[in-house]
Chains A and B, each alone.
Chain A
């Protein structure tokens, strides 16, 4: 199938699922209020979907590895650690007083500072190979996870419940102001990327070919890794850890659009990602009436897909 047709079909599917999400099972009263709530949730789903899809595909291109996600940088567990520590140090009351916005800003800032520190190893004086830096990120991720669990043992059980709610991605309590600023940043990055799509294509040929073709490999990878960190941090702080979704949709996108061109891979991944999140959330809330966070089903379905793919085809 032509990539253009694939994209058109995906756009139609996303539009249909969005319409369904807004209007399906609309109760009799308070239509305006419910529509507004649903629209906010839909926007959150879309922003997250785009941030995750873009960050995962760029990360795979820069690292030259198709089974990595930015979660290897340890940002998910760092987020949990920040949340746990805030609860531990301030307690539920002060945390509530501090407000979602300061909490969000703090989490995003910590995650970005950590990523920059990690990347400085890559581009600083003593250059370290990327695999080493990713390995360090993974080790730090484990450390943050372990520390978070440790502090979770120490805090009050009620406060633990609040933290636990943040451990899984959830679209039910997204703050409107945060959503607005996140969408502005994600949209700005997505627009800026349009000018860099062909540089990403060259980067996917590998470091040496990229240098020979006149791409400043260091500068380009640094720029793209920072973009990955910002997008991952925003998505994580907005709804919780969902990076596994990225692996799933980018891998699927490469299946249905087998090309090196980021001008096709990126939109395909974004649309698939939206489709998955919107349909997933729709099934969850309104068909099955589950109260479980959607990320559980994403990880479950995604894990089965990737495992079967690995076993049946031997590649990702």
Chain B
């Protein structure tokens, strides 16, 4: 369980996240949605301790900043929006870093197995020996996700994991995340811009607007024209297809 109490992040006088309190249960897939600048990434970074802010952040009842760094890295991992890596690194080497919290740089046979499974899960087996700077943006993004999967934490935070990805890989990754939640009991929290992916795959949706929490509810309660109007300030028709709700906002 992740609990956030009165999270606030200010830059100068502007609050990007303003007094947000919520808690997210184990074994769920929760999506953060909202317009640009709503504070989604900032909230996620505060939980992932990449940013310091006000408020209390609890992981299984214990304050996140009270965990020793390595212990926390075995429970909580986070993928950032722009993973800009300047060093020369192959895909396999990057994914191998996911095992750092457990074995530092001395990977065991079990670590290597987990690494190659993660590479395979991200459809990168053919590219595993390639250097990151030889890859496309989407392939790099998948390599970063593979590292997070290799880290094998119970809680996984992903900031726009579908950035740069084509449709097939996007669907593949969302299905994989769903499997991680359903079969391996992981708790996944992610920021998505494609609201239809949010609608099809999440258990719950957190909607933010101007730094405040607007909705935290089961998916079907948020994917309604009224709620979407309030979140995005535009008219979004919702239709159903094979029992799922889809938003048609393109016109």
Contacts and interface: CB of A to CB of B under 8 A. Distances in A.
B86 A64 contact: yes
A243 to B, nearest CB: 21
Given A209-B83, A209-B97, A214 B69 contact: yes
Nearest to B153: A212
A206 B74 CA distance: 19
B93 A211 contact: no
Contacts of B85: 205-206, 209
A222 interface: no
A123 B77 CA distance: 24
A212 B74 CA distance: 9
Contact of A214 (B74, B86, B105, B148): B74
B15 interface: no
A198 B104 CA distance: 7
Contact of B100 (A202, A216, A259): A202
A211 to B, nearest CB: 6
Interface residues of B, number: 30
Contacts of A216: 69
Interface string A227-261: 00000000000000000000000000010001110
Contact of B86 (A197, A206, A258): A206
A215 interface: yes
Interface in A62-95: 64, 66
B250 interface: no
A273 interface: no
B161 to A, nearest CB: 14
B109 interface: no
Nearest to B87: A260
Contacts of A212: 48, 50, 73, 77-80, 148, 151
A119 B134 CA distance: 36
B73 A260 contact: no
B93 A214 contact: no
B70 interface: yes
B101 to A, nearest CB: 4
A312 interface: no
Q: Which of B69, B71, B77, B83 has the most CB of A within 10 A?
A: B69
Interface string B136-150: 000000000000100
Size category, A interface:
20 to 34
A103 interface: no
B88 interface: yes
B66 interface: no
Contacts of A259: 88
Given A213-B97, A213-B101, A214-B72, A260 B88 contact: yes
B239 interface: no
Contacts of B100: 198, 202, 213-215
A204 interface: yes
B14 interface: no
A201 interface: yes
B89 interface: yes
A64 B86 CA distance: 8
B49 interface: yes
Contact of A213 (B49, B73, B86): B73
Contacts of B241: none
B84 interface: yes
A183 B84 CA distance: 38
Nearest to A214: B73
A205 B148 CA distance: 14
A202 B97 contact: yes
A66 B87 CA distance: 10
A214 B105 CA distance: 13
B190 to A, nearest CB: 15
Contacts of A205: 85, 87, 89, 94, 97
Contacts of A213: 73, 97-98, 100-101, 151
Contacts of B89: 205, 260
Contact of B105 (A64, A198, A207): A198
Contacts of A258: 88
Contacts of A208: 50, 78, 80, 83
Interface in B42-76: 48-50, 69-74
A211 B101 CA distance: 11
Given A212-B79, A214-B73, A215-B69, 11 more contacts: A198-B100, A206-B85, A208-B78, A212-B80, A212-B151, A213-B97, A213-B100, A254-B88, A258-B88, A259-B88, A260-B93
25 contacts: A66-B86, A197-B105, A198-B104, A201-B105, A204-B86, A205-B89, A206-B83, A206-B86, A208-B50, A208-B78, A211-B48, A211-B50, A212-B50, A212-B73, A212-B77, A212-B80, A212-B151, A213-B97, A213-B101, A214-B69, A214-B71, A214-B100, A254-B88, A259-B88, A260-B93
Interface of A: 64, 66, 197-198, 201-202, 204-209, 211-216, 254, 258-260
- Nearest 6 pairs of A and B residues by beta carbon: A214-B73, A198-B105, A260-B87, A214-B70, A214-B101, A216-B69
